[in-house]
Chains A and B, each alone.
Chain A
Amino acid sequence: MQLKMTEEQSLIVSMVRRFVHEEILPLELSLDPDADEIPAEDFERLTAKTKSMGLFGMDIPPEFGGPDIDLVTRTLLAIEMAQHRAGLYVPCYGVFGGAGLAQLFEATEDQKERYLYPTLAGEKKGFFGLSEPSGGSDPARAIQTTAIQDGDDWIINGGKLWISGADRADYGLVFARTAPDRGRGGVTCFIVDTDTPGFHVRRIVHTLRSARYATELQFEDMRIPSANILGELNKGFAIASDRLTRQRIPYAAGCIGVAIKAHAMALKYVPQRETFGAPLSSRQAIQWMLVDNEIDIRQATWITLEAAAKADRGEPFRKEAAMAKLVATEAGGRVVDRCMQMFGGFGVAKDFPFERWFREMRIRRIGEGPSEVQRHIIAREILGASLR
């Protein structure tokens, strides 16, 4: 058992760390504290750099042109890429590229031609439409959007809530109930073009994440061809569930990255800041906060890397991914909160990134399945059938 980075991992991690320090942090100084985009010319310049580094599109499978990076290395890089003000939700402002909607890698060739390849080429954008006003943590029961077959088409009615990017998207994955009373076995995933008659972005939903909003969608007699079913009829829940499980690992890694950055800033600040004739670092109250930060970060990091390692080995990792998400989001919140406390007034001012991290980190305990649902998943895994 090795608890050490390989030489190759060390090199790649150092390269990304330098990139964040030399390219992202200086650029961020000129942006609004809530910015989630960089100017187009900087985006193009930095994207060219990540391509030359061989790290562009690291979530894209190699057979579709992405670099061949295992999930442990990907997690280590996600931790580095998050270490700046916007890093929690927009690591490096997206200049390392994304995979789009990973479910499309399993699409039919016709669907890939129409949606996946244009997305990978940056010509189309998609959204993921799962959550509804009735809930998002229990999609098997909460999905009330219906799809009723009409010849070779499906008529979709209903709505979605908390959906990111739907107002800017060309298409989306929409989960709808195709077999009433069949729970998780009655949900199907449809690929929906946003210019389909009956597709509406009804309103913007403002949240603590002031850099980017969510949207509420409404579908009125939206006619979708059967050719746009992703995967199999009534098997949409597996698509959603797989996505939620995989997503938990990079989601956890981002929280760890921000916690590391906040902690590093506090470590630099407390020896300089004096109170009552002595530096803050000499106060036991401060020392204990730093110790607790260290432990929180260490625990979250190892748990997340273990989940990634299990996924890389092809072993079941649902329980480990849930633990990583649970521990990293809660630890990240505690670390940022302690750092704010150590920075005093500066901690809550927009001059420093803590207030943005504090707001965004709070969302992390709810997004992608709240802490309570992660505990439920872990309990189900360790108790097995005896829970039911």
Chain B
Amino acid sequence: MRSDKPWLPLEETQLERIGAQLGVFELGDVWGRVLYIGAADARSLFGLRGELERRIGSAARFRFEVNTAYKTRQQELLMVHFAENGRYPELNTELETRGLGRLS
């Protein structure tokens, strides 16, 4: 299942309203292309807000889901992206996508 959350500008003022929960997020460009799929895991000091704050400037927009199953949800989003586009988002590293399964 792909994310259907609304895109928001990746700016400080937007992030102030986001909690420090665990979850997943996507970074995108102004055309709605997904550039990166990440997770705020239990090691993130300030959860989603912290993970997004340190990525300001790397993308135009973001969207997020609060989700305690952040690990499997991130894997699912990456796999769905691959199934639809034939490749992973360009900012995800090989380490983040190594060993992922395939949907068809």
Is the A/B pair a real complex? Answer: yes
Q: What is the distance, in angstroms, from A172's C-beta to the closest C-beta of chain B? A: 13
Per-position binary interface string of chain A over residues 157-170, scored 1 when its CB falls under 8 Å from any chain B CB and 0 otherwise: 00000000111100
Per-position binary interface string of chain B over residues 63-104, scored 1 when its CB falls under 8 Å from any chain A CB and 0 otherwise: 000001111110110010000000000000000000111111
Contact between B79 and A211 (Cβ–Cβ < 8 Å)? Answer: no
Contact between A33 and B103 (Cβ–Cβ < 8 Å)? Answer: no
Contact between B72 and A201 (Cβ–Cβ < 8 Å)? Answer: no
Contact between A210 and B101 (Cβ–Cβ < 8 Å)? Answer: no
A202 at the interface (CB under 8 A from B): yes
**Which A residues lie within 8 Å of B103 (CB)?**
167, 201-204
Q: How far is the CA of A210 from the CA of B69 in the complex (A)?
A: 5
**Which A residues lie within 8 Å of B41 (CB)?**
32-34
A350 at the interface (CB under 8 A from B): yes
**Which B residues lie within 8 Å of A168 (CB)?**
99-102
**Which B residues lie within 8 Å of A210 (CB)?**
68-72
- Nearest A residue (CB) for B102: A167
Q: What is the distance, in angstroms, from A90's C-beta to the closest C-beta of chain B? A: 13
B43 at the interface (CB under 8 A from A): yes
Q: What is the distance, in angstroms, from A217's C-beta to the closest C-beta of chain B? A: 10
Q: What is the distance, in angstroms, from A369's C-beta to the closest C-beta of chain B? A: 24
A212 at the interface (CB under 8 A from B): yes
Q: How far is the CA of A327 from the CA of B20 in the complex (A)?
A: 40
Per-position binary interface string of chain A over residues 60-102, scored 1 when its CB falls under 8 Å from any chain B CB and 0 otherwise: 0000000000000000000000000000000000000000000
- Nearest B residue (CB) for A212: B72
A residues 329-347 touching B (CB-CB < 8 Å): none
- Nearest B residue (CB) for A356: B42
Which of the residues A166, A202, A206 comes within 8 Å of B72, measured between beta carbons?
Answer: A206
**Which B residues lie within 8 Å of A211 (CB)?**
71-72
Q: What is the distance, in angstroms, from A210's C-beta to the closest C-beta of chain B? A: 4
Contact between B42 and A200 (Cβ–Cβ < 8 Å)? Answer: no
Contact between A32 and B72 (Cβ–Cβ < 8 Å)? Answer: no
**Which B residues lie within 8 Å of A206 (CB)?**
69, 72-73, 76
**Which A residues lie within 8 Å of B71 (CB)?**
32, 34-35, 210-211
- Nearest A residue (CB) for B104: A200
Q: What is the distance, in angstroms, from A133's C-beta to the closest C-beta of chain B? A: 17
Contact between A32 and B43 (Cβ–Cβ < 8 Å)? Answer: yes
Q: How far is the CA of A204 from the CA of B70 in the complex (A)?
A: 13
Per-position binary interface string of chain A over residues 330-374, scored 1 when its CB falls under 8 Å from any chain B CB and 0 otherwise: 000000000000000000001000000000000000000000000
**Which B residues lie within 8 Å of A167 (CB)?**
79, 101-103
Contact between A215 and B68 (Cβ–Cβ < 8 Å)? Answer: no
Q: What is the distance, in angstroms, from B74's C-beta to the closest C-beta of chain A? A: 11
- Nearest A residue (CB) for B39: A32
**Which A residues lie within 8 Å of B69 (CB)?**
206, 210
A269 at the interface (CB under 8 A from B): no
Q: How far is the CA of A75 from the CA of B48 in the complex (A)?
A: 42
In this complex, which of B41, B72, B104 has the most chain A Cβ atoms within 10 angstroms of its Cβ? B72
Q: How far is the CA of A34 from the CA of B101 in the complex (A)?
A: 18
A residues 211-251 touching B (CB-CB < 8 Å): 211-213, 215
Contact between A213 and B104 (Cβ–Cβ < 8 Å)? Answer: no
Contact between B101 and A203 (Cβ–Cβ < 8 Å)? Answer: no
A residues 147-188 touching B (CB-CB < 8 Å): 165-168
**Which B residues lie within 8 Å of A202 (CB)?**
103-104
Contact between A203 and B42 (Cβ–Cβ < 8 Å)? Answer: no
Q: What is the distance, in angstroms, from B79's C-beta to the closest C-beta of chain A? A: 7
Contact between B104 and A204 (Cβ–Cβ < 8 Å)? Answer: no
**Which B residues lie within 8 Å of A212 (CB)?**
72
- Nearest B residue (CB) for A168: B101
Q: What is the distance, in angstroms, from A41's C-beta to the closest C-beta of chain B? A: 12
Q: How far is the CA of A215 from the CA of B75 in the complex (A)?
A: 12
Q: How far is the CA of A350 from the CA of B41 in the complex (A)?
A: 10
- Nearest B residue (CB) for A166: B101
6 more CB-based (< 8 A) A-B contacts, given A32-B71, A168-B101:
A167-B79, A203-B103, A204-B76, A206-B73, A210-B68, A350-B42
15 example contacts (A-B, Cβ-Cβ < 8 A) are as follows: A32-B41, A33-B41, A34-B42, A34-B70, A165-B101, A167-B79, A167-B102, A167-B103, A168-B99, A201-B101, A201-B104, A202-B104, A204-B79, A210-B69, A210-B71
